[in-house]
Structure 1
Amino acid sequence: MSKKKPSNDNSRIAENRKARHEYSIEETFEAGVVLQGWEVKSLRAGKGGIADSYVIIKGGEAWLLGAQITPLLSASTHIHPEQGRTRKLLLNKKELRRLIGAVERKGYTIVALNMYWKNSFVKINIGVAKGKKLHDKRQTEKEKDWQREKQRLMSLKR
């Protein structure tokens, strides 16, 4: 009897690409997401997005706002799905205290970075972030261009 390991080929559900451009990420955390049944089915069908989502701390708990999960057409008739509802994040007390401390500092926010499957659970990476100024974004773009140029030059030498 061999135990079959789940493949990690399609483990990523959604990614917030804009977050790393708009913010400098100081620290990241992994959190579980509390979902309803129709949301899990929609995520398995690839109908989720976290492009403009962020996290707030309210009442000592973390909540995900702005994540869009589009309901399937075959959703149950007795459930009225809300595509952009607020979802609770599962973190331990130590992580919550660190997040609360970071948010209370000036200029810090918590953004969602990516959502993925871990075994049969939906997990989300969140990051404590500080907004970048325009000149910081330009510097990041210059560094990316230089790295790309270096790779191109190295491939030409071979």
Structure 2
Amino acid sequence: MAAKKKDQERYREIRNAKAGRSYFIGERFEAGIKLTGTEIKSIRGGKGQLNDAFVRIDKGDIPTLYHSHIPEYEFGNRENHNPTRPRVLLLHKKELHRIKHEMEAGGQALIPLRLYFKGGLLKVEVALCKGKNLFDKREDVKKKDQMREAERAISFRQG
């Protein structure tokens, strides 16, 4: 008898689709996130969104995730959470000082790239990013088109 496959829906990660298009992604960090029980249940169900999210370091050196959307848990009661509330991130003090220094040095933002589970705990991958201009985005589209054409030519010769 074959072994049972794990439920893939449960172990899915949530990615920020706009991050690669809108930013040059720099150094990455892994952070914990402070959530309520209904938020975790909703994320385990594969729901959530990071597309417009960003991280700001508030007073007292507390990194906070803003504009992430985790929908209310379907089977929750009146104690359900607010879907767009700010959420505190948990970073090591050295990492936090390094990030703060880089952001103050100029032109960088801390953007969440993905939410994923690691050993039963939810983690957020954040990165120091610089914004792309319109011409940078056009260059990326040109490169993708050239790569696609080259792959087609290679597959045509092989086939």
Q: TM-score, normalised by structure 2?
A: 0.89
For 1:138, the aligned partner's letter is: R
Write the mapping of 1:41-60 to structure 2, written as runs, cut at 5 A.
41-58=41-58, 59-60=60-61
**Preserved contact between residue 56 and residue 65 of structure 1 (Cα < 8 Å):** yes
Q: Deviations over 1:80-116 (max 9, x none)?
A: 4201011111110111011101111221111111111
Write the mapping of 1:123-142 to structure 2, written as runs, cut at 5 A.
123-142=123-142
Aligned to 1:3: none
Aligned to 1:20: 20
Aligned to 1:29: 29
Q: Does 1:63 align with 2:67?
A: no
**Seq. identity, %:** 37
Q: Distance in 2 between matches of 1:62 and 1:12?
A: 25
**Preserved contact between residue 55 and residue 111 of structure 1 (Cα < 8 Å):** yes
Q: Distance in 1 between matches of 2:35 and 2:125?
A: 16
Q: TM-score, normalised by structure 1?
A: 0.89
Closer, same or farther in 2 for the Cα pair 1:49/1:146, shift >3 Å?
same
For 1:63, the aligned partner's letter is: T
**Preserved contact between residue 38 and residue 80 of structure 2 (Cα < 8 Å):** no
Aligned to 1:156: 156
**Preserved contact between residue 28 and residue 126 of structure 1 (Cα < 8 Å):** yes
Structure 2 unaligned regions, length at least 5 = none
Q: Distance in 1 between matches of 2:86 and 2:133?
A: 29
Closer, same or farther in 2 for the Cα pair 1:135/1:53, shift >3 Å?
same
Structure 1 unaligned regions, length at least 5 = 1-5
Aligned to 2:73: 72
Q: Distance in 2 between matches of 1:40 and 1:97?
A: 28
> How far did residue 51 of structure 1 move?
1.0
